[in-house]
Amino acid sequence: MSNSDPKTRPRPGTWPPVPESSPMPPSSWAKKTGFRPKFSGETNASDSGQISLPPPRPREPQTQPDLEAGRARPQPAPNGVPEREMATPPPAPAPPSEKDNKVKRRKESDGGSKSAANGPSGVNGQAATAPTEPNSQPRRASRSEEVVDVLPHGVDDDGYVARHSHMKYELRDTPGLVPIGLYGFQHYLSMLGSIILIPLVIVPAMGGTYEDTANVVSTVLFVSGVTTLLQTSFGSRLPLIQGPSFVYLAPALAIINSPEFQGLNGNNFKHIMKELQGAVIIGSAFQAILGYSGLMSIFLRLINPVVVSPTIAAVGLSFYSYGFPLVGNCLEIGAVQILVVIIFSLVPLGLAITWSAAFLLTEAGAYSYKGCDINVPASNIVSEHCRKHVLRMKSCRVDTSHALRSAPWFRFPYPLQWGTPVFHWKMALVMSVVSIIASVDSIGSYHASSLLVASRPPTPGVLSRGIGLEGLSSVLAGLWGTGTGSTSLTENVHTIAVTKMGSRRAVELGACVLIVLSLVGKVGGFLASIPQVVVAALLCFMWAMLAALGLSNLRYSEAGSSRNIIIVGLSLFFSLSIPAYFQQYGISPNSNLSVPSYFQPYIIASHGPFRSKYGGVNYVLNTLFSLHMVVAFLVAFILDNTVPGSRQERGVYVWSEAEVAKREPAVAKDYELPFRISRVFRWVKWVGL
């Protein structure tokens, strides 16, 4: 660092001297030209979105967040002294001049906002303004206003990631019933695919009828509405929709295709559903204990974007064997469905267009073949002509008459509607491990959504509270019998960024609408009539977006780091390669399996490489290592916490400190429990502010 003696250094104009620094990074030219990049963070944008050019002043190093301490790294002050030492100015050889007095007044003006009533960030995270002296120079835009998109581009005076400044409605906004209704309806429309598609996959796999599918869809709508209200009121309090997660889909299919269920006679659906309920309840109870006991706060220190990114991406990539192979059974509908969704970028609109086309083709007799009945199993069809067309009949037809005729007008979903759950320790252990993956998924969702809608990121205690409530929500899902656990939908973050609707009131209103719709049985019957090929085509889009959303978590770390590239690359490769080894082990190329080809990866429990004398241990190990997201999580978790790397390089998530959150009214209002419930649980420090 060069000498900071004011007698030996030039003074540019009326500004105090600055130390000579290294050459500016190539991206810093944006601050002088007014260029506003979308992702670089080199901007001086105000809340109104206008670009404000700072007055001419000496170059100043950009503040870098110190993620290790959760604060901003101290930067050189105008007189060359670190910011933490500005309170004690260095001794001067001469009495302070008028110029020094101006500098002192300007520094006092900069620090004045920290003593505002609403804390460093003012009301709802907005930067507070302090009065300026008449002779002082115009201040530049506050760093808390320098936020673009969902990235942590700005760091405020306390060093925390700044809040998004272009949301139409933020977390605690209540603009009125009409705006909330319209935006909330749009919000839930974009999430409809994630909520209803999983029952349309697992119920036919369990041998369920159209009536069973309609009942499960109605149950999913009811449980999703109830758990969303619980999460926004007593959990993380972020506007995240709760619903059946794709994280639970692969283990559910593995349990459905267990060898002990292959030779069942009678109603396979209810028997397998009770097994799933027992596994989900035990695994979800483990997740609730993980959250409410405070263990999640400790575990949180080891979970970073480099771990979250490949884990969530592997969830989407793991279903490649189900997607397009099923679409290929009816290309004239499936391929059109994919193209329409890509063109319009809206799942409900694409679903309506293709669903209508499939209905017209079905009514016109395009998928009706003489002498063939879709309700007769393929093994009982003697005619070669029918065997050739049975897949097209099952995949392409829109049999609305069956689903609508069997569904009642009013039906109240109630707990234990399929019977008493059956508990097996081996299936429960698989679901307990998967609940950890679901918690990792939620960590990324909490962090990303808080940057969009809240004044600050949640504290570790708030995050633990949210994970604990997700566990309780999944217990409810197990009791009601949705077939999978309930968690915060990852796609929700993308929807918030697109719709600019971050109000929790909109999400709560939509949850109430879901509960009302779940009571109308015909709604579930109508949704159950979606043909399989349309479901597979929509899932191709949903799973692709899920993989992309998972990889987008790398934006919080140094994505160009060779360390991170190697970790993510190895995690993704082994997440596909190791499960393929387990899934193909012991299967003869000419073997005739009794399950469809797209379900073959989930029958691993009967032929995996683990073949000890303990059948339950073999089941657990063979099943877990055949799940792509489990392998991705293990590889990324081990490498990220063993391979050397700075916290800045790893992109360690920055969470709000409990002491700071309690001092700021805006943060307290964002995350504190309603009805003064938090006062009752003050002694439980690990699940509060």
Q: For residue 35, tell me if it sits in a domain.
A: no
Q: Which pLDDT does position 378 carry in this prediction?
A: 52
Rg (CA), the chain: 28
Give a yes or no: residue 15 inside a domain: no
CA distance 631 to 638: 11
Based on the structure, what is the number of domains in the chain? 1
Q: What is the pLDDT of residue 141?
A: 42
- 657, 460 in Cβ contact below 8 A? no
In a domain, 449, yes or no: yes
pTM above 0.85, yes or no: no
Is 599 inside any structural domain? yes
Give the separation between CA 228 and CA 207, rounded to whole angstroms. Answer: 30
pLDDT at 247: 92
Q: Does a structural domain hold residue 635?
A: yes
* Per-residue pLDDT tens digits for 163-216: 445 778 888 888 888 888 887 787 787 777 788 889 989 998 888 888 888 999
Q: Evaluate whether residue 165 is within a structural domain.
A: no
What b/e sequence results for 446-475 when a residue is b if at least 16 CB atoms lie within 10 Å of its CB, and e otherwise? bbbbbbbbbbbbbbbbbbbbbbbbbbbbbb
CA-CA distances (angstroms) from residue 517 to 220, 411, 412, 511, 524? Answer: 11, 10, 10, 10, 8
Q: Is residue 312 part of a domain?
A: yes
pLDDT at residue 178, rounded to an integer? 84
Low-confidence ranges of the chain (pLDDT < 70): 1-165, 263-267, 371, 373-385, 400-401, 588-595, 680-686, 689
Residue among 496, 437, 506 nearest 467 (CA): 437
Three-class SS of residue 488?
strand
Residue 630 within any structural domain of the chain? yes
Structure tokens at 145: 């206003």
Long-range contacts of 111-114 (CB under 8 A, 24+ apart): 113/142, 113/157, 114/157
Residues spanned by the domain of 673 = 177-257+269-680
Query: What pLDDT does 681 receive?
Result: 64
Matching residue, tokens 């796999």: 205
